[in-house]
Structure 1
């Protein structure tokens, strides 16, 4: 296979304070363009492995679709239809590829994602009838985004365990001969940095051990 230089880029991942000087990569006589953010399968990856661009992109796309709720609400659409519109067209944008980034985003980013949901709730319920986020969750029988992402991450971990192909990614601990008060079924990898500890696999394993 011969890569097309016009469609290839370079992103150097590093966590040092001072970025080192890299040797330019080439395909033939073409020097590949270096980028700090690359979109891969709809996910924005940064060279520092943070999720600022991805979270901002999800917030921007989902916020634009809130206009759908405004229009439906204006023309008297019933509440069930508004909830269905939110679940079908807006919430998926706030959860795209969540097992990859859920455990690594900051509290502020988590709050920003939930804020989009609060705006949708105010449209669905009506600004005058909105009494609070938790109350609206119960009224509409909807789970918070954070709880949903935890469930999706747990489901992702379970799928790896039962896949056969990726079972070795989540190895089981050897069961002791005697019963212990605390025993983790799956082996949690040793994480020397918080960045790795908050990544997908260690976080999924911790959820499965609960």
Structure 2
């Protein structure tokens, strides 16, 4: 098989930052690469991806401000946000969200976009974020992303072609006498603990 050196890249997942000698092939070695809209970094974090998403979403909010100036009502502005803006913040969240949810500053970056959007929609900078969510009947992004992961995991459970990605059904109860639905994943590292399979198993068992 011939490798296309123009289209191909080498990304070594190297969270421990060990020395790496690239192979002698005419392919460039990169520190990050975008695959299906998600930026993967060599240190196995999604910081670059979140920064890119929030930057793009904040730029797009300028369109929402322009729509408001044309006299659109609150309902129309909310629909525009839900159809065009929020999907940017949710795209492929089962891949990156478990680790981001437990990284406070990255979650704050995502939340800042929705905070700004709700203030544009309501034309009120003085109202608190909690009150804007109640007024517009919106969820916080943290709850919303958690629900999307739960929904995606349930789809995998019901799909025979992908059922083996997730743990088997549990036949016992936990020490807290809670009946488990899936066998809990044993994670040796925090990095794996913050990935999709252990994260979904945890929230699915507690749901």
Q: Return the TM-score normalized by structure 1.
A: 0.90
Deviation at 1:5, TM superposition (A): 1.6
Q: Return the TM-score normalized by structure 2.
A: 0.92
Q: How many angstroms apart in 1 are the aligned matches of 2:165 and 2:142?
A: 25
In structure 2, the residue corresponding to 1:109 is in which secondary structure?
helix
Alignment of 1:110-149 (within 5 A): 110-127=107-124, 130-149=126-145
Deviations, residues 2-47 of structure 1 (Å, cap 9, x unaligned): 3322110101111224x31324252xxxx21000000001110001
Quickly say closer, same or farther: Cα 1:144–1:24, change in 2 above 3 A: same
The answer to whether residue 168 in structure 2 is matched with residue 172 in structure 1 is: yes
Q: How many residues align?
A: 202
Quickly say closer, same or farther: Cα 1:142–1:25, change in 2 above 3 A: farther
Deviations, residues 156-186 of structure 1 (Å, cap 9, x unaligned): 1111111111212223344249xx8223220
Q: Structure 2 stretches of 5 or more lacking a match?
A: none
The answer to whether residue 89 in structure 2 is matched with residue 94 in structure 1 is: yes
Quickly say closer, same or farther: Cα 1:154–1:174, change in 2 above 3 A: closer
Quickly say closer, same or farther: Cα 1:151–1:25, change in 2 above 3 A: farther
Query: Contact conserved, 1:79 with 1:124, CA < 8 A, in 2?
Result: yes
Query: Contact conserved, 1:11 with 1:47, CA < 8 A, in 2?
Result: yes
Give the aligned partner of residue 74 of structure 2.
79
Q: How many angstroms apart in 2 are the aligned matches of 1:145 and 1:174?
A: 30
Quickly say closer, same or farther: Cα 1:126–1:144, change in 2 above 3 A: same
Quickly say closer, same or farther: Cα 1:111–1:23, change in 2 above 3 A: closer
Q: How many angstroms apart in 2 are the aligned matches of 1:174 and 1:39?
A: 37
Deviations, residues 103-158 of structure 1 (Å, cap 9, x unaligned): 10111110111111111111111135x41111111111111111110001001111
CA RMSD of aligned residues (A): 1.7
In terms of Rg, which structure is larger? Answer: 1
Give the aligned partner of residue 41 of structure 2.
46
Deviation at 1:72, TM superposition (A): 1.4
Q: How many angstroms apart in 2 are the aligned matches of 1:205 and 1:120?
A: 32
Correspondent of 1:183 among 160, 179, 185: 179
Query: Contact conserved, 2:16 with 2:43, CA < 8 A, in 1?
Result: no
Give the aligned partner of residue 160 of structure 1.
156
